[in-house]
């Protein structure tokens, strides 16, 4: 099979292009194909990290046929309305969605459809892809690229930490320190993320800063800023200091109240990309405030942090 590289894949890695074209082949098989010379660029053998250029010819000697583009079902009127409400910003390259708690990002063994598939169906654009993700029970802002070029740019900015995310977090317990920083070393072990004392066992440095928005007798509302993007970072860090996120069934204690068991009070409130002069944010959901409970007498009530939307 022969492919001619267009502008959408310009500067993409060779292995990334092959993975996109042959999704049924495991990554180990793709690396083996490239290593053995069953994939050539302009009739020459290349390494897996070769950056493709527009106009390159990629020749693949493989019995497996390229992956057929997936078709997505038409959305019902109800789902169309939900997606209209979900999309809060859109331009020629970017879409930002307000993901509800309980919705998965991608289809899986227990989920026939995720936000990614719904967005593709809603836009009719198979190239729509999210450049970061939120856990199933986390709600709020998540960004998608409408084309492969923008996806590569945004992915690079995320790697270079030029992609700032802030969260609203409701945690158990009363906190006194108005502003604080947590630096921990996290490592995924099977299906859970654990805190390690240092990096010697493969744990990665994780950094977050926090600001108290409002504190009550039993719970505290925080603004959290991520400086690194580790799996379950905020959930693990806050649980580690004895202030787990309300509704976190994995790392926190389970609330007896039914409404606390059906969602996690972690909300992606804002996304800022300084180099693109891009910023978008949402108001903190009202129920984050209503579940704070009564305040201790010696705790001064801070005004709610008002969200704004500044679209580039």
Contacts 24+ apart (CB under 8 A), 234-237: 234/167, 234/169, 234/208, 234/266, 235/135, 235/193, 235/266, 236/184, 236/186, 236/193, 236/194, 236/195, 237/182, 237/184, 237/186, 237/195, 237/206, 237/208
Distance CA 31, CA 35 (A): 6
135 is catalytic: yes
Cβ contacts of residue 173 below 8 Å, gap of 6+?
218, 219, 220, 242, 243
CB count in 10 Å sphere of residue 104? 20
Distance separating alpha carbons of residues 240 and 234, to the nearest angstrom: 10
Query: Given 8, 135, 162, 255, which residue is catalytic?
Result: 135
Gap between the terminal Cα atoms of the chain? 42
Question: Annotated catalytic sites, by residue?
Answer: 135
């Amino acid at each position: 099979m022969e492919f001619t590289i267009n502008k959408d894949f310009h500067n993409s890695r060779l292995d990334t292009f092959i993975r996109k074209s042959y999704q049924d082949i495991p990554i180990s098989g793709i690396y083996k194909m490239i290593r053995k010379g069953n994939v050539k660029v302009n009739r020459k053998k290349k390494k897996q990290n070769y950056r493709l250029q527009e106009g390159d010819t990629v020749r693949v000697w493989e019995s497996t046929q390229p992956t057929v583009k997936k078709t997505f079902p038409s959305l019902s009127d109800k789902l169309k309305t939900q997606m209209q409400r979900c999309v809060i910003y859109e331009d020629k390259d970017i879409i930002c969605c307000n993901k509800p708690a309980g919705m998965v990002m991608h289809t899986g063994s227990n989920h026939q459809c995720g936000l990614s598939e719904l967005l593709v169906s809603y836009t009719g654009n198979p190239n729509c892809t999210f450049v970061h993700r939120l856990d199933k029970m986390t709600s709020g802002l998540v960004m998608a690229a409408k084309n492969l070029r923008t996806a590569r740019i945004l992915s690079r900015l995320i790697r270079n930490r030029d992609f700032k995310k802030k969260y609203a977090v409701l945690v158990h317990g009363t906190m006194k320190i108005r502003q604080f920083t947590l630096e921990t070393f996290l490592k995924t072990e099977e299906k859970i993320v654990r805190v390690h004392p240092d990096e010697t066992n493969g744990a990665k440095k994780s950094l977050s800063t926090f600001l108290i928005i409002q504190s009550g007798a039993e719970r505290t509302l925080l603004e959290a800023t991520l400086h690194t993007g580790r799996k379950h970072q905020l959930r693990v860090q806050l649980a580690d200091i004895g202030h787990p996120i309300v509704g976190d069934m994995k790392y926190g204690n389970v609330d007896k109240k039914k409404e606390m068991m059906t969602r996690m009070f972690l909300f992606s409130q804002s996304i800022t990309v300084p180099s693109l002069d891009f910023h978008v944010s949402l108001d903190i959901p009202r129920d984050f405030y209503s579940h704070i409970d009564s305040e201790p007498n010696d705790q001064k009530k801070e005004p709610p942090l008002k969200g704004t939307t500044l679209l580039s």
